[in-house]
């Protein structure tokens, strides 16, 4: 995606014929927050952007994708992975637009102190991941643990969940979720 988040959000909102106020009502995010994002004055966390996009509804992968994926594509080079996050968090997704796909597979990287945001994420399906390097605090419902290289998680995604890197080095992991929800 070549376009910054704010103008891209405005373009998609208008394409769906929604005013900022309508999107605010449908997403549960304040109108002022949506206005600040669109104006480029606020860089939303992953959880905040997902919450806004749920009001349209548009998946994060669709938001960050410039082109639809060809369904018969099999191989993806490292430089062809689709970035679907911004800021201190990187989500490199295998494939661009996952419409009509059953699995979302992501290489994630959280910079020290970075996370999905203060708002927990919820969506249908299941999610799992394996920590490759660093540390990641995973909170699912009332449970929380700091995972290290070699540790893993697996949970139903309809439970509120969030991820944060409490360490001093980047945390890298591989994750999958079904159905694709970002």
Q: Domain segments of the chain: what residues?
A: 5-64, 78-178
Peptide bond into 57 cis (omega under 30): yes
Pick the CATH number of 5-64 from 3.30.360.10, 1.10.3720.10, 1.10.260.40, 3.40.1710.10: 1.10.260.40
Look at 92-101, 110-119, 159-168, 170-179 and tell me which has the smallest mean pLDDT. 92-101
Q: Half-sphere exposure of residue 23, counting CA atoms within 13 Å on the CB side?
A: 28
Within this chain, domains 5-64 and 78-178 share the same CATH topology? no
For residue 128, pLDDT beyond 60: yes
Q: What is the pLDDT of residues 85-124, one digit of tens each?
A: 877 899 999 988 787 788 999 999 999 999 988 888 888 8
| 71 burial via Cβ count (<10 Å: 0-12, 13-18, 19+) | exposed
Q: What is the average per-residue pLDDT within 129-139? A: 98
Contacts of 175 (CB under 8 A, 6+ apart): 105, 106, 108, 127, 128, 129, 130
Pick the CATH number of 78-178 from 1.10.3720.10, 3.10.20.600, 2.60.120.260, 2.60.120.10: 2.60.120.10
Q: Hey, how many other C-beta atoms are within 10 angstroms of the C-beta on 90?
A: 19
pTM of this prediction exceeds 0.75: no
Q: What is the average per-residue pLDDT within 129-153? A: 98
Q: Which residue has the higher pLDDT, 163 or 8?
A: 163
**Residue 152 — very low, low, confident or very high, per pLDDT cuts 50/70/90?**
very high
Token pair 């104006």: residue: 39
Q: What is the pLDDT of residues 2-60, one digit of tens each?
A: 568 888 888 888 888 888 899 989 988 988 999 998 998 888 888 888 889 888 888 77
CA distances in angstroms from 96 to 21, 25, 84, 108, 148, listed in the order given: 30, 29, 9, 15, 29
Tell which residue, 28, 90, 93, has the closest CA to residue 56: 28
Give the pLDDT of residue 117. 84
């Amino acid at each position: 995606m070549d376009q910054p988040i704010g103008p891209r959000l405005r373009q998609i909102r208008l394409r769906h014929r929604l005013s900022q106020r309508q999107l605010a009502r449908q997403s549960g995010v304040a109108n002022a927050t949506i206005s600040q994002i669109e104006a480029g004055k606020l860089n939303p966390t992953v959880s905040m952007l997902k919450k806004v996009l749920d009001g349209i509804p548009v998946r994060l992968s669709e938001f960050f994708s410039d082109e639809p994926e060809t369904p018969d594509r099999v191989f993806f080079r490292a430089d062809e992975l689709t970035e679907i996050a911004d800021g201190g968090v990187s989500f490199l997704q295998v494939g661009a637009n996952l419409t009509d796909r059953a699995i979302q597979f992501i290489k994630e990287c959280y910079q020290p102190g970075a996370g999905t945001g203060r708002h927990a994420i919820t969506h249908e399906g299941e999610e799992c991941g394996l920590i490759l390097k660093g540390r990641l605090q995973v909170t699912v419902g009332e449970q929380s643990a700091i995972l290290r290289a070699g540790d893993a998680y697996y949970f139903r995604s309809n439970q509120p969940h969030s991820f944060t890197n409490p360490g001093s080095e980047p945390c890298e992991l591989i994750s999958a979720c079904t159905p694709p929800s970002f």
